[in-house]
Structure 1
């Protein structure tokens, strides 16, 4: 291999570490030699040449002597020009090498700093974990009931570009569905947009009625008819499940062999303590509770419009699996069920999720930490909520203030279950109706 070919491999970053160091050492040595030669061989003062020529003419030297001086002057100038071009060439070569190395190794990283970096390692050298794993674990618990994910593999491509795979590590159907996509300078695109769709605003009945917090759904439907001036022959229950009768009919027609995400509307809004007592008596898998997160604007006679204040935000109150993700426990206490990465080998450090979230104070602390964490992830939140202005840092902070002041009020919950379990739930007095989606 010629040295020129070696330099080409150096430019493209294809050399092994030892060869790359040798080429860099050669370049440094060549620069040092060029600097030395330049200092030793300065272009001679032109005035000295002209003075020498004038003296020769004054002393009546022969013409051929004068011509010799002219020739000497020209040769000196030519030699100096060649040296100057040689130095310029070496300088340009060195600058080109530096520029190539900068573009190859530094520029992609610098550009990436201006955008969300999902590949940042929040673990340690022994157990690396991407930042997006933690961000996604929090985000999916708050906004994606039944679709919680806490593992994201990231491949950095430079210039703010990344390939991502959101892994499913636990399943109720017996099959795992990973979701792939790409992040291009803060823009997220999934190759399958259907997996992580948020639930519609009206999957719970409280997203489409008005009334009083202490009333049952039927009592509030009467208020709704009056509040919106709905005629007697017009439908007022605009829940995705339809009326209570329509919801039951849909449940009866479900496939017994499949699993479903059930969006269960409670007949009355419950305190967390009452809700936890109720749900702990059920034989259910992971349960996500939908929480009221904003003050309801009261109209005449204490009637409120639930529609603008029920954003389908909540948290998992009995996780079906734990995770080992590192976070700042002082800043975000009780953020995620499980333990931090450095303690994952110690069984005593793992949380007991059911015990941990039984008390309202622990559940409130957990939910507040989730909201606080998201409000501080501005780049991630802007990427995930690009088309939604309701979940800005300001709105999330306001939700935190409301929860701290009023506690946790639950108006519905989701669980993943089969047809038989959902039908059994629908017959309970605490449940008004259930909307379902097939688990993918």
Structure 2
């Protein structure tokens, strides 16, 4: 753009403020140059013009020369000004471009910094959330899930510094009721989280000097033992007094005709087979005997007979277990293979004594007092408390593979015992060959079923 065009735009007021100021500065500059040339160029004033025509002619010549010089100067100044303005315009444009570029760079940096901070904050937030989830999954969630399932390490009772865990107490009650000669009252349970536990059930007492522990896994209330035979309920058969059908059997001839065998003869043959089996036993080995009685006896009479037999013949016995006789409303035996141990053994435990009095005969809170086996009232309370406990804590039943679909089963037993007292129709005992043969000489003994002692 030429200088004249700039001046034209200046007159029209269409220039930007910065360019307008530059034009005004140039005009002021040109005025100053003109004044300077006028003062320094010896140009005559009116008094000099009156001095003569010659001088006027000279002045005209000089004036023409000055005009030419001024014209040249104006042209040069105009060109220089034009160049300066163009350069300044370019410079201003470059400056504006540089400023814009710098602004853009700073703006981009700020955006990048903001984005970086946002990503860092988001990363930290995500990291915290992930860490919280991981920590929860590692430390909190496994325990939280375990709370919904059977916890073998739950404190079932505590006295001073001695704590009895849930599974210790559950298994102690269960094994005394259902596992004669195989009482277990200790459980080691290592939590793996999410309701899973590694289980070890040690044998703490033995008449043979041989100890058999059993291991397994408890997964959300379901117990899997690696050897099911160790703690399985024994296949024992107590023949109830007066139950002739227990010895009943039928023969089938070649024509597929069934004939009932002589019940009494079959009973005598079974007893003779049992005696011959015992006679072949090793004298020093221990055996677990399930002894049926000829008559249902009151507990007081039974324990007195057993103690007298032991004292008179100096027989060596192991743990005694009494099979308790109970009947339902129709007169049927509810469960022939259930009982208790009147002679306590194992560990002392703690529990809710108010709700389950004499649940165990070994009490942490009263170690100096041991219940006497001939204390019928205490033994009755002990047995009914175990029935009440197993009824309220039937998880151990399902874990050991027993049915829990008869909620009134144990209450019927409790009602019968409370009404009729402790009745005994048989017992189990650890004994050697000599003691077993002596038992068959007793009038109260009906039949003995034996198995090698673990």
Q: TM-score scaled by structure 1?
A: 0.71
Tell me, in whole angstroms, the C-alpha distance in 2 between the residues paired with 1:236 and 1:84: 95
Matched, 1:295 2:325: no
Partners of 2:328 and 2:412 within 8 A in 1: no
Tell me, in whole angstroms, the C-alpha distance in 2 between the residues paired with 1:311 and 1:59: 116
Partners of 1:272 and 1:360 within 8 A in 2: yes
Tell me, in whole angstroms, the C-alpha distance in 2 between the residues paired with 1:387 and 1:292: 20
Shift in CA distance, 186/238, structure 1 to aligned 2, threshold 3 Å: farther
1:33 aligns to what?
A: none
Q: Report how far residue 225 of structure 1 moved.
A: 5.4
Matched, 1:170 2:205: yes
Unaligned regions of 5+ residues in structure 2, if any?
A: 1-15, 20-91, 250-257, 311-316
Secondary structure at the counterpart of residue 341 of structure 2? strand
1:157 aligns to what?
A: 192
1:32 aligns to what?
A: none
1:98 aligns to what?
A: 132
Tell me, in whole angstroms, the C-alpha distance in 1 between the residues paired with 2:326 and 2:384: 11
Q: Report how far residue 143 of structure 1 moved.
A: 0.6
Secondary structure at the counterpart of residue 324 of structure 1? coil
Shift in CA distance, 59/139, structure 1 to aligned 2, threshold 3 Å: farther
Matched, 1:351 2:369: yes
Partners of 1:205 and 1:237 within 8 A in 2: no
Q: 2:349 aligns with which of 325, 340, 351?
A: 325
1:62-106, CA deviations, whole angstroms, 9 ceiling, x for partnerless residues?
Answer: 662555555544433332211111100111111222222211111
Partners of 2:185 and 2:346 within 8 A in 1: no
Partners of 1:152 and 1:166 within 8 A in 2: yes
Unaligned regions of 5+ residues in structure 1, if any?
A: 1-56, 207-215, 299-304, 344-348
1:185 aligns to what?
A: 220
Secondary structure at the counterpart of residue 342 of structure 2? strand
What aligned pairs does 1:260-299 form with structure 2 within 5 A after superposition? 260-283=287-310, 284-295=317-328, 297=330
Secondary structure at the counterpart of residue 223 of structure 2? strand
Partners of 1:375 and 1:396 within 8 A in 2: yes
2:438 aligns to what?
A: 424
Matched, 1:373 2:389: yes
Partners of 1:221 and 1:237 within 8 A in 2: no
Tell me, in whole angstroms, the C-alpha distance in 2 between the residues paired with 1:151 and 1:317: 20
Shift in CA distance, 231/74, structure 1 to aligned 2, threshold 3 Å: same
Tell me, in whole angstroms, the C-alpha distance in 1 between the residues paired with 2:274 and 2:18: 122
Q: Report how far residue 112 of structure 1 moved.
A: 1.2
2:272 aligns to what?
A: 245
1:310 aligns to what?
A: 335
Shift in CA distance, 238/374, structure 1 to aligned 2, threshold 3 Å: farther
Partners of 1:337 and 1:351 within 8 A in 2: no
2:403 aligns to what?
A: 388
Q: TM-score scaled by structure 2?
A: 0.69
Tell me, in whole angstroms, the C-alpha distance in 1 between the residues paired with 2:17 and 2:352: 91
1:321-356, CA deviations, whole angstroms, 9 ceiling, x for partnerless residues?
Answer: 25311111111111111222x55xxxxx33324x2x
* Structure exhibiting the larger radius of gyration computed from Cα positions: 2
Root mean square deviation of aligned Cα: 3.1
Report how many residues are paired. Answer: 349
1:203 aligns to what?
A: 237
